Amino acid sequence: MIRFNNAGLSVPADDPAQAPRTVLAPCTLELNERRIAVIGANGSGKSTLLRMLNGLVTPSTGAVEVHGFDTVRQAKSVRRRVGFLFTDPLSQLVMPIVTEDVELSLKALHKDRAKRSASALRALAALGLEHLAHRSIYDISGGERQLVALCSVLAAGQDILVADEPTTLLDLANNELLKKTLGALDQQVIYATHDLDFAAAADRALLVAGGKIVFDGPAPEAVDTYRRLVRHGSPAA
């Protein structure tokens, strides 16, 4: 259970004389579905909403809870349950060799180096990536990097995956591969995307425009609503 309790974010305006700027208007949500998409224009507030889920962004009003843990006061407990996949995998792959990066995610779970290495290889094999284990992250494709980043996140055992536009930098083949991989996961997956077919396949979708959630419901309906907003020239869509 993920709960937004009147959670929102405002930041100081560039001009101190002006009122604070609303990045995400306060909202109250319960996010239970297995697959939830978040759609909307760049700058609409999608990434802010996602980053509130694991404490990367702190709400300026209200609170966010994951399985009863507050994302501010109990951030460590939240991050043990929520993994985050960024748009650009190189922003989170910090070790030069694939298996070393996965091992890094396992450091808190396995103090023994041999056990950690064996567990990393099993995690890679579970996603069909064992052939990349000893490759440099700089010598593999963008799609392979994104899958390795996903593996590193999943290896830590979180039961919720948050993904911020994970297919944006991928070519068609890797885009389809990543979507198929995400679709097969047991974890709850909450993802922002500009791929409206990908969004429509979710169990539920949130449409964010101008810092507000303007639609929350069945994913195909959310996509249709978004298309109508864009066709009518909504500046927030």
| Mean pLDDT per 10-residue interval, the chain, length 237 residues | 96 86 96 97 95 95 96 94 94 94 87 89 92 95 91 90 93 89 94 96 97 97 95 69
Q: Which pLDDT belongs to residue 34?
A: 96
The rounded distance, in Å, linking the Cα atoms of 34 and 137 is 30
User: What's the pTM?
Assistant: 0.91
Residue type for 234, please?
Answer: S
Q: Which pLDDT belongs to residue 237?
A: 58
The rounded distance, in Å, linking the Cα atoms of 130 and 112 is 21
Q: How far apart are the first and last CA of the chain?
A: 29
Q: Which pLDDT belongs to residue 111?
A: 78
Choose the CATH number for 1-13+20-80+200-237 among 2.60.40.1120, 3.40.50.300, 3.30.930.10, 3.40.630.10.
3.40.50.300
Cβ neighbour number for residue 112 with a 10 Å cutoff: 9
Helix residue ranges per DSSP H, the chain: 46-52, 75-79, 98-105, 113-126, 142-155, 172-183, 196-200, 219-231
Q: Which pLDDT belongs to residue 235?
A: 54
Query: Longest C-alpha distance within the chain, in Å?
Result: 59
